A = this chain, B = another copy of it.
């Protein structure tokens, strides 16, 4: 009797998938804060009510969008010479994904335990295992890596959002923050005023890998 979703009412039929795809595009263009059911319905040439037939609510929609992007980024297998190398490549995939879809960074850091996190935990955990980490330490080690990746993701997303909101490109934004730091009281904030210059010229991607290296170094030391 029921052929849920398969029956095509017309060519541009509404599906959960097509809705999520449109949402992803919109999120990429305007960010999480400006994704509304109004503009989403308009873009799909329908009303908000029709969308709610396929999607539970906005959280559900955003979670689905996030999961779709993460799944796509992790779909093709990743192999490196060593487990360390592979872990770095996985991490870079995440980094580049956030670069293209900054909003994923902030959604991801709120999705503890959910499917998108598992999609990252799985390949990373497998490599941690390949590193020869002892059974009881598998979770701690993998979770440390995940937490670090999520931390960087969240901050990159925040940086992208702040830069966009102030109509600045990356360089101008770094300049602004760096200047703010260097103007702090050097007696109270000796370190921050000191690294302000390093911050101005730092490379997110390189620093990200640097952090992964530190954790991997710690792992190799523990054996």
Contact = CB atoms under 8 A, between A and B. Distances in A.
A189 B210 CA distance: 28
A144 B207 contact: yes
Given A151-B148, A177-B113, A191-B126, A143 B207 contact: yes
29 contacts: A109-B151, A109-B158, A110-B161, A112-B155, A118-B181, A121-B192, A121-B195, A122-B189, A126-B191, A128-B191, A138-B195, A138-B198, A139-B195, A140-B202, A140-B210, A140-B211, A143-B211, A144-B148, A144-B211, A144-B214, A146-B151, A147-B151, A148-B151, A149-B151, A151-B151, A213-B218, A214-B214, A214-B215, A215-B215
A115 to B, nearest CB: 9
A215 to B, nearest CB: 5
Contacts of A152: 147, 151
A169 to B, nearest CB: 15
B207 A139 contact: yes
Band of interface residues on A: 35 or more
Contacts of A190: 122, 126
A4 interface: no
B143 A154 contact: no
Interface string A132-171: 0000111111111011111110111111011000000000
